[in-house]
Structure 1
Amino acid sequence: MKTKVLVYDDNEMLRSSIRFLVESEPEMDLVASLPNAQSVEQDIVQYKPDVILMDIDMPLVNGVQAVARIRKIEEDLPVIMLTVFEDNENIFNAIYAGASGYILKRHLSEEIAYAIRTVLNGGAPMTGSVAKKVLKMLPRAKSQEQEKSNLTEKETKILELLVHGFSYKMIASEIFISIDTVRFHIKKIYEKLHVHSATEAVSKALKNRLVE
């Protein structure tokens, strides 16, 4: 069964480009491509997407507002933000609203298929420059919450890689462990942080400065 992708972007030319990129992947199907997210709740019921690609800057209802509305009815539906913006406010507003990933439009052709696969495998994809900006914004001093998290050194490293947008397979390769071991450690991370998904873990890591 193909992965069903729903797209929101007010730029018709970009929507056409995204359609081409998504439908070039044999396991993906673009079920709808819409100019705004005003009826996002009804759209989800109608199209039953597996993942949403969401422009952050749209008329009527912007991407951050749309993500917040989605999270009220679908806690785990992956939403990847698409944007030309690389500023701190947009990044954090999107992440705190519940976005699952954040990629820049100028990198769409190289990153869109990878980002979709990554988010469906539990990762939190981000364009490299965005991930670096997020980490640079965080003070290096450990916060009180970090002390309370009780994460081991390896768990902290895995959480940091999740923040960078690494998939389970990439994490396994980076620190030389099996994917099953990655899953074991991530389960422990979720338990210690009291979260249920990679998106929540990344959001808490950023909010509470759990990684350097």
Structure 2
Amino acid sequence: MKKAMIAMIEDNKIIRENIMKFIGFHEEFEVVLGVGSAESFFHEIKSNPKIQIDILLLDIGLPGISGLEALPQLLQWKPDLNVIVLSTYEEEDMILKALCSGACSYISKKASLSEIVEAIRIVLNGGSYMSPSIAREIINHLMGGRVSKASILSDRQKEILQKLVDGKSYQVISEELFISVETVRTHIKKMYKVLHVNNKTEAINMYMKGHIG
């Protein structure tokens, strides 16, 4: 059986070595290269022009040339290269930039080692793989933001957001809901993270535009 050649660009040495080691346990794969930067990768393939790579796992937040900047250069080197982005970034714009730049799959770094291996198998069979959280962002984009993010807010978060929209202060909200001001703040911080906003104004604007509820 011909083994699939796997390479990885990941600046975190521990993450890189753990993933490469796990992939190496599977007989159908051979890890041929693992480096910490795009510059190192280009140096290696220039030094060894005969190197064969079927799948490249690529981090986005790299020192020097970022993963997004490297993507066009990687595909110029090998147009049929299957690039799987493996990143902590789960924002819609970052995902779309990576996919539009030529990545065939996008995996969250929250994924398990087994999920990464399964993604590699799917890509080798001609498919594309997205972590569930990534797929949700893509669907939301394709539907023009019409997928309500309220569905992923807790009932309490929805309740607090409605009161923010009504112009109520943290103190008033805490009194009306019989919870402490600190608890209100905690709920709001979690809500901002879910909605990918940075402050109350952005959350209220999202609500007013009909993207929530």
Q: Give the TM-score band, short-chain normalised.
A: 0.5 to 0.7
* Matches of 2:76 and 2:68, distance apart in 1: 13
SS in 2 for 1:29: strand
Judge which range, 105-114 or 116-125, deviates more.
105-114
Question: How far did 1:41 drift?
Answer: 4.2
| Structure 1 residue aligned with 2:38 | 37
Matching of residues 92-171 of structure 1 within 5 Å:
92-139=96-143
Provide Cα deviations, 1:138-169, integer angstroms capped at 9, x if missing partner: 2369xxxxxxxxxxxxxxxxxxxxxxxxxxxx
In 2, Cα distance between the equivalents of 1:101 and 1:137?
16
- The match for 1:47 is 51
Contact 1:40 1:70 in 2 (8 A): no
Aligned pair 1:26/2:27, yes or no?
yes
Name the CA distance, whole Å, in 2 between partners of 1:115 and 1:138. Answer: 22
Residue 106 of structure 1 aligns to a residue in which SS? coil
Question: For residue 85 of structure 2, what is the amino acid of its counterpart?
Answer: M
Structure 1, gaps ≥5 residues long: 142-212
Partner Cα separation in structure 1 for residue 144 and residue 137 of structure 2: 14
Unmatched 5+ residue regions in structure 2? 146-213
Tell me if the contact between 2:4 and 2:54 (Cα under 8 Å) persists in the aligned partners: yes
- Asked if the contact 1:102/1:125 (under 8 Å) is kept, the reply is yes
1:3, 1:108 → 2: CA distance?
20
- Which residue is equivalent to 1:76? 80
d(CA) in 2 for partners of 1:23, 1:35: 18
- Counterpart AA for 1:23: G
Shift of 1:47: 2.7
Deviation at 1:36, TM superposition (A): 0.3
Question: What TM-score, normalized to structure 2?
Answer: 0.62
TM-score (norm 1): 0.62
State the identity %.
Answer: 31
Structure having greater relative contact order (Cα 8 Å, sep ≥ 6): 1
Deviations 1:99-138 (Å, cap 9, x if unpaired)? 0100011114131111111111111111011011101112
The structural deviation recorded for 1:73 is: 2.6
In structure 2, how many angstroms separate the alpha carbons of the residues matched to 1:32 and 1:108?
Answer: 21
Rounded to whole Å, the distance in 2 between the matches of 1:40 and 1:69 is 11
Does the Cα contact within 8 Å between 2:35 and 2:41 map onto a contact in 1?
Answer: no
Report which stretch shifted further, 33-42 or 57-66: 33-42
| TM-superposed deviation, 1:69 | 0.7
Q: CA deviation at 1:30?
A: 0.8
State the alpha-carbon separation in 1 of the partners of residues 79 and 6 from structure 2.
17
Counterparts of 1:92 and 1:21 in 2: how far apart (Å)?
28
Q: Comparing 98-107 with 45-54, which one deviates more in the overlay?
A: 45-54
78, 87, 90: which is aligned to 2:91?
A: 87
